[in-house]
């Protein structure tokens, strides 16, 4: 199974692709899509959508896992992240992949073991789980990889629940 994690954002949108085979998780690709703060927001959303459609079309993940937007202190940032996540969801659903959302707490719990893990802890856990020689950079790519790993941690239970239905 191939899973793409997305950490949505308008200025920086992280992505990370993980292949799950047997019991191993292998990092396939990771990076950040950036848009220029100097450009109008609609143009930036259009570019983000186009880059995500291309990226998802290239990797063809079975699942796209997206970090759920929660309302933050900064209302303007929250709205931009909401708009970016809308564009990411449309791009993912259009590829035919299954799309799942996970909250920041779910992601931290399943990757680092507790819901209040900080960025350096998360980075080290992502590095360890994927057996990488060094921490993934930039941090948005590591965050996105954590979303993909969160889906892989939830997938067996999800499959059992669906089988039981």
What 3-state class would DSSP assign to 26?
A: strand
CA 43 to chain centre: 22
Q: Based on CB atoms, which residue is closest to its own copies, 71 or 114?
A: 71
CB of 11 to its own copies, least distance (A): 14
Tell me whether residue 7 is one of the annotated catalytic residues: yes
CB of 43 to its own copies, least distance (A): 5
CB of 94 to its own copies, least distance (A): 5
Sheet containing 12-21: give its strands across.
24-34, 12-21, 2-7, 63-67, 98-102
* CA-only gyration radius of the chain, Å: 15
Tell me whether residue 67 is one of the annotated catalytic residues: yes
Q: Based on CB atoms, which residue is closest to its own copies, 90 or 159?
A: 90
User: Which residues contact its own copies (rule: CB under 8 A)?
Assistant: 40-43, 45-46, 48-50, 69, 71, 75, 79, 82-87, 89-94, 99
Tell me whether residue 62 is one of the annotated catalytic residues: no
Spell out the alpha helix ranges (H) of the chain: 41-59, 75-94, 104-112, 119-129, 139-164
Which of 54, 140, 143, 162 is labelled catalytic?
A: 140
Q: Based on CB atoms, which residue is closest to its own copies, 26 or 43?
A: 43
Do the beta carbons of residue 149 and residue 5 sit within 8 Å? yes
């Amino acid at each position: 199974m191939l899973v793409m994690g997305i950490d949505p954002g308008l200025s920086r949108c992280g992505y990370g692709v993980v292949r799950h085979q047997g019991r191993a998780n292998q990092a396939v690709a990771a990076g950040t899509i950036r848009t220029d703060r100097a450009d109008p927001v609609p143009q930036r959303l259009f570019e983000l959508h186009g880059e995500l459609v291309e990226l998802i079309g290239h990797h063809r993940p079975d699942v796209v896992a997206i970090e759920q937007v929660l309302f933050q202190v900064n209302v303007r940032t929250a709205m931009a992240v909401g708009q970016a996540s809308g564009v990411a969801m449309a791009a993912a659903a259009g590829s035919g992949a299954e799309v799942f959302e996970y909250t920041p707490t779910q992601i931290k719990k399943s990757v680092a073991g507790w819901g209040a893990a900080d960025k350096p802890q998360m980075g080290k856990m992502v590095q360890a789980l994927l057996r990488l020689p060094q921490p993934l950079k930039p941090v948005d790519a590591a965050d996105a990889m954590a979303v993909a790993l969160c889906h892989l941690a939830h997938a067996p239970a999800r499959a059992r629940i669906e089988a039981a239905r």
